[in-house]
Each structure stands twice: as C-alpha cells, then as structure tokens.
Amino acid sequence: MLLAACNSDVPVSAPAVIDPPGWRVTVTRVATHPFLARYNLSLSVAAPGGCSAVSELFPDTGGVSRRNVYVAASGELFVIGQFDARRFDEPRCRVELIEFRSVGTQMTFVGAFDVDDTGRWAFLPAGARAERPFEKL
C-alpha cells in the first residue's frame, strides 16, 4: 500500500505537436520527493527546420506543474506557468525566460501540459480542456 503512494523519480514526458507551424513541444516532469507533489520540469521545443532548444522550467514545489501553451499573432510560441513565462525564439533557436509584462495580449490558447482526469501527466489540447488562467499573486 505504501508503494502506491510514492512518487517515482522516472522522468515522465508529455509531447505535443503545435500545428501550424509544426513545432514539437515536450514538457518532462521528474518527481523530487517520494511523497509530496514536487517536481523538476524541463521544456523541449523542436521546429520543422531542424532547430531545437531545451530549458529548465521553474520547479513545482507544490501543485504548480501546469503550463499553458499559446501561439501569438506574431507566430511566437509561449509556455506560461504560475511563476514563469518562456518564449521560443525560433530565429535564434532558443527558449527564453521572459517577464510576464512582455507577454502580449494577442495570443491563442492551444492547450496545457497538466495532469489529466486519471492523474497522468499529459498535453491537453484546447479542444479537450478549456483554458485555465493563472491567478497572479
């Protein structure tokens, strides 16, 4: 019974394809505590032209793993969490940590990396689950 309550430190990846333009986006989550909901998270983005970039995300220290994914009118990809925001800069082939105030307003929600109804880490497209905005503290 005790083993069922333990978190595994095996990385769990949730892949997604954002079309257009065909970006392959993955957020990987690794438990850092055997009993508490604490995780390290990393973001990987690969563009169709061969560019790929990886970034460590702000860790989940208790129930903040979810990352909303948006595509801006400018064609940029944004991955936004409760405490961090990342932008994929395809021309420079990198993921950048940005300030929340530099996130534009003309963005389309395309989905979220989160736990699904069964508790599994997954990408949930906008058609499967409506946007759940973050409360900024």
| Span 91-130, pLDDT tens digits | 999 999 999 887 877 899 999 999 999 999 999 999 999 9
Q: Is 95 left (phi over 0), alpha (psi -120 to 50) or beta?
A: beta
Residues 13/26, Cβ–Cβ less than 8 Å: yes
What is the pLDDT at residue 3? Answer: 47
Kindly provide the residue ranges of all beta strands, DSSP E only, lying in the chain, ordered along the sequence.
12-18, 23-31, 39-46, 52-60, 67-72, 77-80, 85-89, 94-98, 107-115, 121-125
32 pLDDT exceeds 90? yes
* Percent of all residues in the chain with a pLDDT value above 70, rounded to a whole number: 94
4 pLDDT exceeds 90? no
Q: Is 126 left (phi over 0), alpha (psi -120 to 50) or beta?
A: alpha
pLDDT per residue over 53-96, tens digit each? 999 999 998 888 999 999 998 889 999 999 999 999 999 999 99
Return the CA Rg of the chain: 15
Q: Global pTM?
A: 0.91
